Chain A
Amino acid sequence: MVQAGASDAGRQLAAETAEVVFAAVARSKPAAPFMPM
């Protein structure tokens, strides 16, 4: 399961199902929410 797209619904779907997430964030602070806890 590969997810791309940064909408709230898309990120929720990724959190529940994805093994790979594409994220396009240039700075580390806004990228943090995409990182594993």
Chain B
Amino acid sequence: MADHLAVLNMPMEALKRSATVTSFDPLTLLPALAMGPSILAWSPRLDHLRARYTIARRFASLDHLSDGRAGWNLVTTSNPDAALNFGMDEQMEHAERYARAREFYDVVTACGIHGPTTPSSAMSSGKLFRSRQSSVLNHKGRYLKVRGPSTSPARSRAGR
């Protein structure tokens, strides 16, 4: 499922016939779709200018709601007009979009709280997560500054 953050720069007559013109916000739509039983592959292309901690948190929650069927495109959109809808004057170059994605990957995969493996283990131990200290990421990179840990619950195997 493609996300579109700006109307594509196409001839009007082509746009009138393009399904890309309208686009649900994926993080509103996906939880509703997650209630269905189908095997689905979701890959909305979320924009870098939405707070990436929030993207990671929402997908960690969606990972649970969908039983591990949620995913998103780590690299931001190549649509140059999308930047104009998010407070920027121009789109980033290709290499920079990938550099940001790489750093985003590091933060997303390192930021989780590691909870008990099962609810019953939480019941027996009385502890809701294993370790807090080791989850404090204190990431300060070129594009992101995230202390962590995430407040999202432990992820499924698919959610790493």
Binding site for B on A (CB under 8 A): 1-2, 7, 9-10, 12-13, 16-17
- Is B98 an interface residue, CB under 8 A from the partner? yes
A1 touches B98 (CB 8 A): no
B105 touches A9 (CB 8 A): no
A24 to B65, CA, bound (A): 33
Chain B, interface size category, equals 10 to 19
- CB-nearest residue of chain A relative to B102? A13
- Which of A1, A9, A10, A12 has the most CB atoms of chain B within a 10 A radius of its CB? A9
Q: Which residues of A contact B97 (CB under 8 A)?
A: 9
Q: Which residues of A contact B8 (CB under 8 A)?
A: none
Q: Which residues of A contact B105 (CB under 8 A)?
A: 1, 13, 17
Q: Which residues of A contact B29 (CB under 8 A)?
A: none
- Give B33-45 as 1s and 0s: 1 = Cβ < 8 Å from A's Cβ atoms: 0000000000000
- Give B88-112 as 1s and 0s: 1 = Cβ < 8 Å from A's Cβ atoms: 0000001101110110010000000
